Amino acid sequence: MDKRVERTQKLLLQSLMMFNLKNKNFYEISIRDLCEQAGIARQTFYRNYLVKEDIIIRQISNVMSDFKSVLKQQSFNASGFIQLLIQFWKQNQQTFALIEWAGISNEFIRQLANFNKLVMEQHKAFGKNSEYIANYYAGATYMFLKTFMEKNDFSQEAYAKGAAVYNQLTNQCKGLFEPLN
Protein backbone atom coordinates (compact mmCIF):
# COMPACT_ATOMS: atom_id res chain seq x y z
CA MET A 1 0.00 0.00 0.00
CA ASP A 2 1.17 3.52 -0.79
CA LYS A 3 2.66 5.17 2.32
CA ARG A 4 0.49 8.28 1.82
CA VAL A 5 -2.69 6.19 1.69
CA GLU A 6 -1.61 4.25 4.75
CA ARG A 7 -0.85 7.50 6.61
CA THR A 8 -4.21 9.01 5.63
CA GLN A 9 -6.10 5.93 6.78
CA LYS A 10 -4.24 5.91 10.08
CA LEU A 11 -4.91 9.62 10.70
CA LEU A 12 -8.61 9.25 9.98
CA LEU A 13 -8.90 6.19 12.21
CA GLN A 14 -7.12 8.04 15.02
CA SER A 15 -9.46 10.99 14.55
CA LEU A 16 -12.50 8.76 14.87
CA MET A 17 -11.02 7.20 18.00
CA MET A 18 -10.46 10.66 19.47
CA PHE A 19 -14.06 11.70 18.78
CA ASN A 20 -15.26 8.45 20.34
CA LEU A 21 -13.15 9.03 23.46
CA LYS A 22 -14.66 12.51 23.73
CA ASN A 23 -18.12 10.90 23.64
CA LYS A 24 -19.14 12.73 20.48
CA ASN A 25 -22.17 11.38 18.69
CA PHE A 26 -20.92 9.47 15.64
CA TYR A 27 -23.73 10.74 13.44
CA GLU A 28 -23.09 14.38 14.35
CA ILE A 29 -19.46 14.28 13.22
CA SER A 30 -19.12 15.69 9.73
CA ILE A 31 -16.52 14.70 7.18
CA ARG A 32 -15.21 18.25 7.56
CA ASP A 33 -14.80 17.75 11.35
CA LEU A 34 -13.05 14.46 10.76
CA CYS A 35 -10.68 15.90 8.16
CA GLU A 36 -9.85 18.94 10.28
CA GLN A 37 -9.01 16.70 13.22
CA ALA A 38 -6.86 14.48 11.00
CA GLY A 39 -5.18 17.44 9.32
CA ILE A 40 -6.10 16.34 5.81
CA ALA A 41 -8.13 17.80 2.96
CA ARG A 42 -11.67 16.58 2.33
CA GLN A 43 -10.66 15.58 -1.18
CA THR A 44 -8.11 13.24 0.38
CA PHE A 45 -10.86 11.66 2.47
CA TYR A 46 -12.99 11.06 -0.62
CA ARG A 47 -10.08 9.54 -2.52
CA ASN A 48 -9.98 6.84 0.16
CA TYR A 49 -13.55 6.51 1.44
CA LEU A 50 -17.14 7.18 0.47
CA VAL A 51 -18.50 7.58 4.01
CA LYS A 52 -16.94 7.70 7.48
CA GLU A 53 -18.23 4.18 8.31
CA ASP A 54 -15.83 2.92 5.64
CA ILE A 55 -12.91 3.85 7.90
CA ILE A 56 -14.11 1.41 10.54
CA ILE A 57 -15.11 -1.23 8.00
CA ARG A 58 -11.60 -1.19 6.57
CA GLN A 59 -10.19 -1.50 10.10
CA ILE A 60 -12.45 -4.50 10.78
CA SER A 61 -11.07 -6.09 7.60
CA ASN A 62 -7.52 -5.37 8.72
CA VAL A 63 -8.09 -6.88 12.16
CA MET A 64 -9.82 -9.95 10.71
CA SER A 65 -6.95 -10.39 8.26
CA ASP A 66 -4.46 -10.22 11.13
CA PHE A 67 -6.54 -12.76 13.06
CA LYS A 68 -6.55 -15.13 10.08
CA SER A 69 -2.76 -14.86 9.93
CA VAL A 70 -2.47 -15.75 13.61
CA LEU A 71 -4.75 -18.75 13.20
CA LYS A 72 -2.85 -20.03 10.15
CA GLN A 73 0.27 -20.27 12.31
CA GLN A 74 -1.28 -22.73 14.75
CA SER A 75 -3.78 -25.53 14.94
CA PHE A 76 -6.84 -24.90 17.06
CA ASN A 77 -10.04 -26.48 18.28
CA ALA A 78 -13.28 -24.82 19.42
CA SER A 79 -11.96 -23.94 22.88
CA GLY A 80 -8.70 -22.56 21.56
CA PHE A 81 -10.54 -20.70 18.81
CA ILE A 82 -12.74 -18.67 21.15
CA GLN A 83 -9.89 -17.97 23.58
CA LEU A 84 -7.78 -16.65 20.71
CA LEU A 85 -10.70 -14.61 19.43
CA ILE A 86 -11.31 -13.05 22.85
CA GLN A 87 -7.63 -12.23 23.29
CA PHE A 88 -7.37 -10.81 19.79
CA TRP A 89 -10.35 -8.50 20.15
CA LYS A 90 -9.20 -7.48 23.60
CA GLN A 91 -6.03 -6.24 21.88
CA ASN A 92 -8.28 -4.40 19.43
CA GLN A 93 -10.74 -2.98 21.95
CA GLN A 94 -10.69 0.45 20.36
CA THR A 95 -11.82 -0.98 17.04
CA PHE A 96 -14.57 -2.94 18.78
CA ALA A 97 -15.66 0.26 20.54
CA LEU A 98 -15.81 2.04 17.17
CA ILE A 99 -18.02 -0.73 15.76
CA GLU A 100 -20.48 -0.24 18.60
CA TRP A 101 -20.25 3.55 18.50
CA ALA A 102 -20.94 3.72 14.77
CA GLY A 103 -23.68 1.10 14.93
CA ILE A 104 -22.11 -1.12 12.27
CA SER A 105 -22.18 -4.44 14.10
CA ASN A 106 -23.82 -6.02 11.04
CA GLU A 107 -20.61 -5.45 9.07
CA PHE A 108 -18.56 -7.12 11.80
CA ILE A 109 -21.00 -10.04 11.86
CA ARG A 110 -20.87 -10.32 8.05
CA GLN A 111 -17.08 -10.45 8.06
CA LEU A 112 -17.06 -12.93 10.92
CA ALA A 113 -19.54 -15.13 9.03
CA ASN A 114 -17.19 -15.14 6.03
CA PHE A 115 -14.35 -16.06 8.36
CA ASN A 116 -16.46 -18.88 9.81
CA LYS A 117 -16.94 -20.28 6.31
CA LEU A 118 -13.18 -20.42 5.91
CA VAL A 119 -12.86 -22.28 9.23
CA MET A 120 -15.55 -24.71 8.07
CA GLU A 121 -13.76 -25.33 4.79
CA GLN A 122 -10.44 -25.80 6.58
CA HIS A 123 -12.01 -28.43 8.85
CA LYS A 124 -14.03 -30.02 6.01
CA ALA A 125 -17.28 -29.10 7.76
CA PHE A 126 -18.75 -27.14 4.84
CA GLY A 127 -22.12 -28.54 3.76
CA LYS A 128 -25.65 -27.69 2.68
CA ASN A 129 -26.45 -25.66 5.83
CA SER A 130 -23.10 -23.89 6.02
CA GLU A 131 -24.53 -20.42 5.35
CA TYR A 132 -26.93 -20.76 8.29
CA ILE A 133 -24.26 -22.18 10.57
CA ALA A 134 -21.67 -19.53 9.69
CA ASN A 135 -24.19 -16.72 10.24
CA TYR A 136 -25.52 -18.22 13.46
CA TYR A 137 -22.08 -18.51 15.01
CA ALA A 138 -21.11 -15.04 13.77
CA GLY A 139 -24.11 -13.42 15.48
CA ALA A 140 -23.61 -15.45 18.65
CA THR A 141 -19.90 -14.66 18.68
CA TYR A 142 -20.49 -10.95 18.23
CA MET A 143 -22.95 -10.81 21.14
CA PHE A 144 -20.63 -12.93 23.26
CA LEU A 145 -17.68 -10.63 22.54
CA LYS A 146 -19.80 -7.56 23.24
CA THR A 147 -20.82 -8.94 26.63
CA PHE A 148 -17.26 -10.02 27.42
CA MET A 149 -15.84 -6.60 26.49
CA GLU A 150 -18.46 -4.78 28.56
CA LYS A 151 -17.46 -6.77 31.64
CA ASN A 152 -13.92 -5.42 31.19
CA ASP A 153 -12.34 -8.38 33.02
CA PHE A 154 -9.42 -9.69 31.01
CA SER A 155 -7.88 -11.99 33.58
CA GLN A 156 -6.83 -15.50 32.56
CA GLU A 157 -9.66 -16.82 34.69
CA ALA A 158 -12.16 -14.66 32.78
CA TYR A 159 -10.80 -15.93 29.44
CA ALA A 160 -11.12 -19.55 30.54
CA LYS A 161 -14.56 -19.06 32.05
CA GLY A 162 -15.76 -17.09 29.02
CA ALA A 163 -14.50 -19.75 26.62
CA ALA A 164 -16.18 -22.48 28.67
CA VAL A 165 -19.52 -20.64 28.65
CA TYR A 166 -19.26 -19.89 24.92
CA ASN A 167 -18.39 -23.48 24.08
CA GLN A 168 -21.22 -24.80 26.23
CA LEU A 169 -23.71 -22.44 24.57
CA THR A 170 -22.51 -23.26 21.05
CA ASN A 171 -21.94 -26.99 21.58
CA GLN A 172 -18.19 -26.51 21.05
CA CYS A 173 -18.88 -24.71 17.73
CA LYS A 174 -19.48 -28.18 16.38
CA GLY A 175 -20.78 -26.89 13.06
CA LEU A 176 -17.54 -25.01 12.39
CA PHE A 177 -15.24 -27.89 13.17
CA GLU A 178 -17.16 -30.94 11.96
CA PRO A 179 -20.08 -31.50 9.59
CA LEU A 180 -23.55 -31.41 11.12
CA ASN A 181 -26.01 -34.06 10.00
Q: What is the pLDDT of residues 48-58, one digit of tens each?
A: 999 999 999 99
Q: Which of 52, 50, 45 is nearest to 30 (CA)?
A: 52
81 burial level (CB within 10 Å; 0-12, 13-18, 19+): buried
Give the length of the chain.
Answer: 181
CA dihedral sign, ordered 122, 128, 131, 134: negative
Stretch among 112-116, 136-140, 173-177 having the lowest mean pLDDT? 173-177
Question: How many Å separate Cα 95 from the centre of its chain?
Answer: 7
84-97 pLDDT, tens digit each: 888 888 899 999 99
Q: Which of 99, 85, 64 is nearest to 144 (CA)?
A: 85
Residue 85: what pLDDT?
85
108 vs 96: CA distance, rounded Å: 9
DSSP state of 172: G
pTM greater than 0.85 (yes/no): yes
150 vs 2: CA distance, rounded Å: 36
